[in-house]
Structure 1
């Protein structure tokens, strides 16, 4: 059974990484959410993908230049406020998460997560509910020292190495056991995700995330290939494909 993961929530009627986007994804049946973590000027963790706010609001300021109070006053393009990590934890403690810790503020973000570890409830959530996507090996080491048993997904370069080795039939050289790798639906415009490729990862006791398919055909391709997880911007397709398969 493939686990579906909502990438920044469902954004048809909501701005990404907001409570509305996540609630809409949950309503469609998702129980696994992916989001992005950055740190404000005064040390609060906020859910935001880009370093600046221009894509999701009328503001052009960078997130780390503003305080939480200043960010709370900003309305995003569809009228919602930004969501902060303490709010995210409170709302979605019953779900599973992928936390993408952005590299330009990763050290500060991890230090703030360390404060959360002092709360037994938050510690349990970060240990049992969260997996982490890091973009630099030093940050991966930092988060694993901070959070016991922190699981970090394979970084981008590791995914490329694993993919190349699997494609040429030498998966043992690049695919590590117990790791989770992202594979896009296409490479150079050609279909990439296939059952044979995924089986090479599984033979090494690794797992595969189908990474951001865009079309219905690409989603079906990933499911047919046998991916373990599917990270998608198109949350409604989970319902549509489940109905179709049923």
Structure 2
């Protein structure tokens, strides 16, 4: 006698508007605020919200004194007026540093400034995992944030940190925080999925709620019709980064992807408008 299939666990509220197979609407993410000259700044995020984005992609790193800063690079050199590693300076020392003329941004301040926005957060260092858990608990921002990282170990540390703070249900229960898979999780889905193991991986090995992937990785094309179909069959929404060309956005939407991250807010908004998906706010 065949064993009954396990009951699918409910999806986090963050993803409820875009679940595959439930008439979900594809999500448009403003990558780092879609403001290339002032990336990851409050001005960039505010501009994206004003343009109709409800979902913002961003990165966080921790300073020497443990402050969670919205920033991508390990060092300040590429995009700011400062120099050196963020982890070597305190938040106070970053007071006069700017990116595109805008001040650097604490994650706690972003939560307060844009209370309606949903935030797709990439943990860029290990210390960011427990710091994120503390801030989400402090602000009760449970349904507003999806936690991602290229390193699956940081996602697992984030969940352990929630449990240590007394929020085990937010780590693994029916009201958990949404997370996406890192490099190892995605590699497993790409390589083992064609063997019929996508559902098994999702249920027993990965503990993730969606996949966020590039169109290709090196010579390997990640986002194919079969990959999207397999992920959807396992209940995993597929978000693709970073796509700036209208034709490519159209092609991905036709494949059935559930979200697109872009640096070109205007291009994505135009495509989504033609499809009756805009604005999202």
TM interval, short-chain normalised: 0.7 to 0.9
Using the alignment, how far apart are the partners of 2:133 and 2:274 within structure 1? 44
Gaps of 5+ in 1: none
Mapped contact 1:17–1:35 kept (Cα < 8 A): yes
1:189 to 1:142, Cα distance in 2 relative to 1, 3 A: closer
* Residue equivalent to 1:226: 256
Q: Secondary structure at the match of 2:198?
A: helix
1:73 to 1:193, Cα distance in 2 relative to 1, 3 A: same
Gaps of 5+ in 2: 1-24, 163-169, 171-175, 277-281
Looking at both structures, which has the greater relative contact order when contacts are Cα pairs under 8 Å and sequence separation is at least 6? Answer: 2
Please list, as runs of the form range in 1=range in 2, the aligned pairs for 1:62-141 lying within 5 A after superposition.
62-76=85-99, 78-103=100-125, 106-107=126-127, 109-116=128-135, 119=138, 122=139, 124-125=140-141, 127-141=142-156
Report the TM-score when normalising by structure 1. Answer: 0.85
Over aligned residue pairs, what C-alpha RMSD do you find?
2.4
Q: Could you tell me which of 20, 38, 53 is aligned with 2:76?
A: 53
Please list, as runs of the form range in 1=range in 2, the aligned pairs for 1:227-246 lying within 5 A after superposition.
227-246=257-276
Report the TM-score when normalising by structure 2. Answer: 0.75
1:190 to 1:58, Cα distance in 2 relative to 1, 3 A: same
* 137-146 or 149-158, larger mean C-alpha shift: 137-146
Query: 1:219 offset after TM fit, Å?
Result: 1.1
Mapped contact 1:171–1:200 kept (Cα < 8 A): no
* Residue equivalent to 2:158: 143
* Residue equivalent to 2:181: 154
